[in-house]
Amino acid sequence: MKYLIAGLGNIGEEYINTRHNIGFIILDAWARVSNVKFEDRRYGSVASVKYRGRTFILLKPSTYVNRSGHAVKYWLKKEKIPEENMLVLVDDLSIPFGSIRLRTKGGDGGHNGLAHINMILGHGNYARLRFGIGNDFMIGGQVNYVLGKLDDQEEKILNKRLDLAIEMIKSFGIIGIELTMTKYNKEAKSLDDGERNSSGSEN
């Protein structure tokens, strides 16, 4: 069975290690521990990971976030992957930095990448892994915030979350979206609560 794992982000040196590139960062981490390399292909960089009889096609679109739908549609069709076997990795302003939530479907939540995918596919009925980047910016500062570089604390939190994010993606392919949500969303929230309590006790 094949699965398309699309990590959203922007290409170019200026966007490396920015909050909007969380999807790229997660896929790069998985490729690194799996000893596979991305190749430049049509509409994006692509790598393939084999795991427990499944093939995961990792896609980093080269279309920039706002046009992610073109890459997603092309690779779904090229690899003959049904839309229910697609998972989109996306940064999310609505949840605290480092929080991870898995969802079966939904709207775009103001994210231009999801909005374009929804427009191209004609619906939002596909799974997405939302990685929180928080909303610590002043009114009018959203663009600079999402395109800004991760600070030291954010990098530390992100590095601690990468293994969990990769586990959740693998689980999506092995046991499906519903069971993965049941198994991991609660675990991810427990991590969030534990870190908040730990941080609070230090102040």
The CATH number for 2-202, chosen from 3.40.47.10, 3.90.1530.10, 3.65.10.10, 3.40.50.1470, is: 3.40.50.1470
Q: Sheet holding 54-61: strands in order across?
A: 39-41, 44-51, 54-61, 2-7, 86-92, 127-132, 100-103
Residue 199 pLDDT class (50, 70, 90 cuts): low
How far is CA 40 from its chain centroid? 19
Residue 140 pLDDT class (50, 70, 90 cuts): confident
Residue 193 pLDDT class (50, 70, 90 cuts): low
Instruction: Count the helices and strands in the chain (H runs, E runs).
Output: 6, 7
Place of tokens 């990590």: 7
Share of the chain above pLDDT 70, in %: 93
pLDDT at 132: 95
pLDDT at 136: 86
Sign of the alpha-carbon dihedral angle for 21, 170, 166, 180 = positive
pLDDT in tens, 88-130: 999 999 999 999 999 999 999 889 999 999 999 999 999 999 9
pLDDT at 137: 85
Residue 192 pLDDT class (50, 70, 90 cuts): low
Bridge partner list, 3: 56
Find out whether 8 and 91 touch, Cβ atoms under 8 Å.
yes
pLDDT in tens, 15-71: 999 999 999 999 999 999 999 999 999 999 999 999 999 999 999 999 999 999 999
pLDDT at 7: 98
Backbone angles phi, psi at 20, to 5 degrees: -70, -10
pLDDT at 110: 87
Active site residue 20: yes
How far is CA 132 from its chain centroid? 10
Share of the chain above pLDDT 90, in %: 85
Annotated catalytic residue: which of 20, 70, 116, 123? 20
pLDDT at 17: 96
Is it the case that residue 187 has pLDDT exceeding 90? no
pTM above 0.85, yes or no: yes
